[in-house]
Amino acid sequence: MRGIVKTFPGVRALDGVDLDVAAGEVHCLLGQNGAGKSTLIKVLAGAHRPDAGAITWDGAPVAFGSPHAADAAGIATIHQELDLVPGLSVAENVVLGHEPARLGFTRPRDAEKIARRLLARLGHPEIPPRRELGELSAAGQQIVSMARALARDARLIVMDEPSAVLDPEEVRNLFRVMRELTADGVAVVYISHRLEEIREIGDRVTVLKDGRTVARNLPARTTPTADVIRLMTGRAIEYVFPPSTGPAGEVVLEVDGLGRTGEFADVSFTVRAGEVVGLAGLVGSGRSEILETVYGARRADTGGVRVHGRALPRGSVPAAVRAGLGLCPEERKAQALLLDEPVMRNVSLASLRRFARGGFLGGEAELADAGVVTAQLDVRPADPRRPARTLSGGNQQKVVLARWLLHGCTVLLLDEPTRGVDVGARSEIYALVRRLAGEGVAVVLVSSEVPEVLGLADRVLVVREGRIVHAGPAAELDEHRVLDLVMEGADMTADGLAGAGS
């Protein structure tokens, strides 16, 4: 694949991506959430048409207009969200779309034979082909999904985070099957966040970031982990971060012993007025979960949150908002915006009470005030009556920020505030965050980009596997140190596995 470009309204999801996969190799695709991995494999699987770029398959240029075309060419995809039918039997799922049939009548016994053979090959002869799929565990369904890919006699199998739902034993089994497949000349594109897996099974690595290829065909086993993570999280362009503004005020936000079973535990920190606290950590470390729990969008199992000394009730967003908290969530479109509504209504959503007298909305003041804040943030185009859908990613983010600016919050929680945001808008958002801190707002920032955390935050908390493993002033840290802290565990596991393998 060469120079693949795919744009969605407001976002350039892929911006010139290259990927080479050779027969008989396991090619690992790495990148943060939102780097474009899923979009890329959807292009490969024919689910999206690229806007530009070329795909060469077996030496000939191809253009897959539909998933069916990719399937016919021998490309099978195991998606992250399992694309199986829970109401059908295991065997029916395995042969779905390719049912053995005579004169239009299906031949269930042939289907069962095929399914039994493939499941045995995958090391799971105990899965009964007649069983209804929905009754199987998530791992069992993953196995069926793989059997289905094998049933197509695919020559390229794309696996999007298959190990996420598997236990270590099953991952080993999966790897054994992958080795058998590659020995037969099948190519595998393997996506995972777990670096240790990539060390074990991968041959070559391609790293994506912000819709671009930042590294191609690195050797999977010998590239240092630190280099890989730097490629995923680092930044090619240097940004100028506005300087920190003076000493912080009194403590505004106190988080004490916060925990949610299976996500994170024993998280305690405080944020002062005028201070920016950054949470650094890998995807899946629990950083977003911590932020959402502080906000009450997830109910804490243990611990509590206090704002200005007053405890917040667990699991109540309205109470958090009343107490002066505001969240810019990770998934802007899904979690923050009313895409069909005008910008002005998106901005005023959290502050309706201010514009209402006895529940009645006045009209003019709302439009005028929304106009004032969007103008302050330089939201373009500068018409608060435009539907939010028509804005670019950066301007949509500014609309979400404008919502809390208008509301006047004292604690601002930012989850990946610059994801999918273009270069110019990034700098503006950095300046705004600093300005708000200068005006006495307490800011908590979650970002995948270490330079962003270091450049913007006064203090940094490093989160690993649901725990805060380091807390200290940003000035005492550099990128290397943070990366070491972020992946200490992952590094050890990788070494351990490498040791066990040799």
Partner 1 sequence: MSEQSPISPARTTETTDAPVAGGPESPPGRPEPSRLVRVLFEGGVGRNMGLVAVLVLLAVVGVVTAPRTFPTVSNLLTVLTSASIIGVLTVGVTFVIIGGGIDLSVGKVMALASVWATTVATQSFGALVMIFCALAVGVGAGLVNGVLIAYGRIVPFIATLAMLISAQGLAELISGRRSQIVTDPVIAAIASTRILGIPLLVYLFAVVIAVGWVVLNRTTFGRRTFAIGGNPEAARLAGVDVRRHTVLLYVVSGLCCGIAAIMIASLTTTGSSTHGTLYELDAIAAVIIGGTLLTGGRGTLIGSILGVLVFTVITNLFVLNNLAIEVQNIAKGAIIVVAVLIQARARSSSTT
Nearer to partner 1, 184 or 341 (CB): 341
| 105 touches partner 1 by CB under 8 A | no
- Stretch in the footprint of partner 1 (CB under 8 A) among 133-141, 261-269, 324-332, 419-427: 324-332
DSSP one-letter code for 131: S
Nearer to partner 1, 109 or 385 (CB): 385
Residues 254, 260, 266, 267: is their CA dihedral positive or negative? negative
Residues 479, 482, 487, 489: is their CA dihedral positive or negative? positive
End-to-end Cα distance, the chain: 34
Smallest distance from partner 1 to CB 428, Å? 16
In the list 147, 320, 468, 486, the residue contacting partner 1 (rule: CB under 8 A) is: 320
Smallest distance from partner 1 to CB 486, Å? 27
In the list 83, 341, 378, 495, the residue contacting partner 1 (rule: CB under 8 A) is: 341
| 330 touches partner 1 by CB under 8 A | no
| 378 touches partner 1 by CB under 8 A | no
Residue 104: Cβ within 10 Å count: 6
| 109 touches partner 1 by CB under 8 A | no
Smallest distance from partner 1 to CB 171, Å? 32
Separation of alpha carbons 55 and 65, rounded Å: 12
| 278 touches partner 1 by CB under 8 A | no
In the list 49, 172, 322, 380, the residue contacting partner 1 (rule: CB under 8 A) is: 322
| 208 touches partner 1 by CB under 8 A | no
| 251 touches partner 1 by CB under 8 A | no
- Stretch in the footprint of partner 1 (CB under 8 A) among 96-104, 123-131, 402-410, 420-428: 402-410
Helix (H, G, I), strand (E, B) or coil at 94: helix
Helix (H, G, I), strand (E, B) or coil at 303: strand
CB 376 within 8 A of CB 406: no
Residue with tokens 């005006």: 439
Q: What is the 3-state secondary structure (H, E, C) of 59-73?
A: CEEECCCCHHHHHHH
In the list 22, 138, 356, 475, the residue contacting partner 1 (rule: CB under 8 A) is: 356
In the list 72, 120, 338, 498, the residue contacting partner 1 (rule: CB under 8 A) is: 338
Smallest distance from partner 1 to CB 260, Å? 17
Positions 412 through 471 that interact with partner 1 (CB under 8 A): 436, 439-441
- Stretch in the footprint of partner 1 (CB under 8 A) among 47-55, 226-234, 282-290, 346-354: 346-354
Separation of alpha carbons 82 and 170, rounded Å: 17
In the numeric block, which tokens belong to residue 328?
């810019």
# residues near partner 1 by CB under 8 A? 57
Q: What is the CA radius of gyration of the chain?
A: 25
| Distance of alpha carbon 24 from the chain centroid | 29
Q: List the alpha helices (DSSP H) in 186-342.
A: 195-201, 225-233, 287-294, 317-322, 332-335
Residue with tokens 């065909």: 217
Smallest distance from partner 1 to CB 348, Å? 8
Query: Mask: binding to partner 1, 145-164, rule CB under 8 A, as x and -?
Result: --------------------
| 125 touches partner 1 by CB under 8 A | no
In the list 324, 417, 451, 466, the residue contacting partner 1 (rule: CB under 8 A) is: 324
Separation of alpha carbons 24 and 182, rounded Å: 4
Q: List the alpha helices (DSSP H) in 202-249.
A: 225-233
Separation of alpha carbons 76 and 151, rounded Å: 10
| 143 touches partner 1 by CB under 8 A | no
In the list 174, 367, 460, 461, the residue contacting partner 1 (rule: CB under 8 A) is: 367
- Stretch in the footprint of partner 1 (CB under 8 A) among 95-103, 196-204, 354-362, 490-498: 354-362
Short-list 105, 203, 209, 227, CA closest to 484? 227
Separation of alpha carbons 349 and 11, rounded Å: 24
Separation of alpha carbons 406 and 384, rounded Å: 14
Q: Which residues of the chain form contacts with partner 1 (CB under 8 A)?
A: 295, 297, 308, 317-318, 320-324, 327, 329, 334-342, 345, 349-354, 356, 359-365, 367-369, 372-373, 376, 383, 385-387, 403, 405-410, 436, 439-441
